[in-house]
Structure 1
Amino acid sequence: MTTPYTPAADAQPQGNPTFEPDGGPTLAQQLGAFAAHCAEHGVPADVAASVGQRTLDVLGLCVAAHRLPTSAAAVGHVLDQGGNAQATVIGVETRVNAAQAAFANGVLAHSLDYDDTHLPSILHPSASVVPAALAAAEHAGASGEVVTRAIAVGLEVAVRLGMAGYDEELNNSVFFEHGQHATSITGAMGSTVAAAICYGLDAEGITNALGLTASMASGVIEANRTGGTVKRLHCGFAAQAGVTAAQLVKRGFTGPPTVLEGRFGFFQGWLHGQFFPEAITSGLGTEWSVPGIFFKPYPANHFTHTTVDAGRAFAAAGITPEMVAEVTVGVAGSTARTIGEPIEVKRTPVTGYQAQFSGPYAFAAGLIGGGGLATGLDDYTDELAQDPLRRELMSKVTVVDNAECNEIYPFQFPAVVTLKTTDGRELVEKVLTNRGGPARPLSDAELAKKFSDNVAGRLASDVAAKVSTEVLALQGVADLSAVLAPLTTFIPTDSEESK
Structure 2
Amino acid sequence: MSGAFANTAIPAARRFAAFASGVQPPGEVLDAVGCQVLDTIGICLAGHTLHHRPRIENVALSFGAGAATALGSREPVSAPAAALFNGCLAHGLEADDTHIGAVMHGSSILVPAALAAAEEQDADGQTLLWAVALGWEVAIRIGLGFPEAFFKNGFHATALGGPFAAAVVAGVVRGLTEDQFVSALGIAGSQSSGVFEFMTDGANSKWLHGGWPALGGLVAASLAQSGMTGPETIFEGRAGFARAFARQEDAATFVEACDDLGAVWHCRDVAVKLYPTCHFIQPFLECTEILLRDTPADRIASITCFVPEGAAALICEPWHVKLRPVTIYQAKWSLPYCVANLLVHGSIDVATFDRQDPDETVMAVANKVRFEVARTSFPRHLPGRIRAVLVDGVERTIAVDDVLGSPSRPLGNERLTRKFRDNTRASLIAGGADDVIAAVEGLRDGISARDLGRTLRAATIRPSGRAPSSPSSKVASSPV
Match of 1:379 among 344, 352, 360: 352
Q: Which has the higher contact order (CA 8 A, sep 6+)?
A: 2
Deviations 1:220-271 (A, max 9, x none): 2211234422221122111111111111222222223222222233323333
Shift of 1:291: 0.8
What CA distance in whole angstroms lies between the structure 1 residues aligned with 2:356 and 2:217?
Answer: 39
Is the Cα–Cα contact under 8 Å of residues 128 and 449 in structure 2 kept in the other structure? no
- Name the aligned partner's letter for residue 353 of structure 1: Y
Distance in 1, matches of 2:37 and 2:44, equals 11
Structure 1 residue 298, shift from structure 2 partner: 0.9
Letter in 2 for 1:281: C
Note closer, same or farther for the CA distance 1:158–1:391 as it changes in structure 2 (3 Å cut): closer
TM-align CA RMSD: 2.7
Instruction: Tell me which of 380, 390, 396 is aligned to 1:427.
Output: 396
On the 8 A contact 1:370/1:376 being kept in 2, the answer is no
| Structure showing greater Rg | 1
Give the distance between the partners of 1:407 and 1:495, measured in 2 at CA.
Answer: 44
d(CA) in 2 for partners of 1:258 and 1:157? 16
Q: In the TM superposition, what is the alpha-carbon distance from 1:309 to its structure 2 partner?
A: 0.8
Asked if the contact 1:353/1:381 (under 8 Å) is kept, the reply is no
Structure 2 residue identity aligned to 1:490 = I
**Is structure 2 residue 163 aligned with structure 1 residue 188?**
yes
Q: Distance in 2 between matches of 1:268 and 1:32?
A: 21
Partner of 1:428, secondary structure, is strand
Amino acid of the structure 2 residue aligned with 1:12: N
Report the AA paired with residue 246 of structure 2: L
* 1:92-134 residue CA offsets vs partner (Å, 9 max, x unmatched): 2332222222111111111111111122231211111111111
The partner residue of 2:181 within 206, 214, 221 is: 206
Query: Which of 381, 395, 409 does residue 440 from structure 1 map onto?
Result: 409
C-alpha distance in 1 between matches for 2:55 and 2:19: 38
SS state at 2:389 partner: strand
Residues 249 and 383 of structure 1, relative CA distance in 2, 3 Å threshold: closer
SS in 2 for 1:242: helix
Count of matched residue pairs: 465
Corresponding residue for 2:296? 320
User: What is the rounded CA distance, in whole Å, between the counterparts of 2:37 and 2:256 in structure 1?
Assistant: 25
Residue 277 of structure 1: CA displacement?
3.1
Within the alignment, does 1:158 sit opposite 2:139 as a pair?
A: yes
Q: Which residue of 2 aligns with 1:277?
A: 254
Q: 1:31 to 1:98 in 2, by over 3 A?
A: same
Aligned pairs (5 A) from 1:45-60: 45-60=27-42
Residue identity matched to 1:305: Q
Output the CA distance in 1 between the equivalents of 2:285 and 2:462.
Answer: 32
Question: Are residues 381 and 210 of structure 1, via their aligned partners in 2, closer, same or farther at CA, if it must alter by over 3 Å?
Answer: closer
How much has 1:469 moved relative to structure 2? Answer: 3.2
State the TM-score, normalized to the length of structure 2. 0.89
SS at match of 2:56: helix
Cα distance in structure 1, aligned partners of 2:212 and 2:140: 18
> Structure 1: which amino acid aligns with 2:395?
E
Residue of structure 1 in register with 2:305 after alignment: 329
1:417 match: secondary structure: strand
% identity of equivalent residues = 32
Kept in 1, the 8 Å contact 2:127–2:173? The answer is: yes
TM-score (normalizing by structure 1): 0.85
1:364-388 deviation line (CA, Å, top 9, x unaligned): 44456756xxx32123454995374
- Paired residues of 2:309 and 2:373 also in contact (CA < 8 A): yes
Identify unmatched segments of 5+ residues in structure 1: 14-20, 167-172
Alignment check: 8 A CA contact 1:311 1:364 kept: no
- Distance in 2 separating the partners of 1:255 and 1:245: 9
What secondary structure does 1:481 align onto?
helix
| 1:66 equivalent among 45, 48, 56 | 48
1:145-196: CA deviations, max 9, x gaps? 1111111000110111122212xxxxxx211122122111111100000100
Rounded Cα–Cα distance in structure 2 between residues aligned with 1:324 and 1:91: 41
1:348 Cα offset (Å): 4.6
Asked if the contact 1:310–1:363 (Cα under 8 Å) also holds between the matched residues in 2, the reply is no
Partners of 1:155 and 1:290 within 8 A in 2: yes
Please say if 1:30 is aligned against 2:15.
Answer: yes
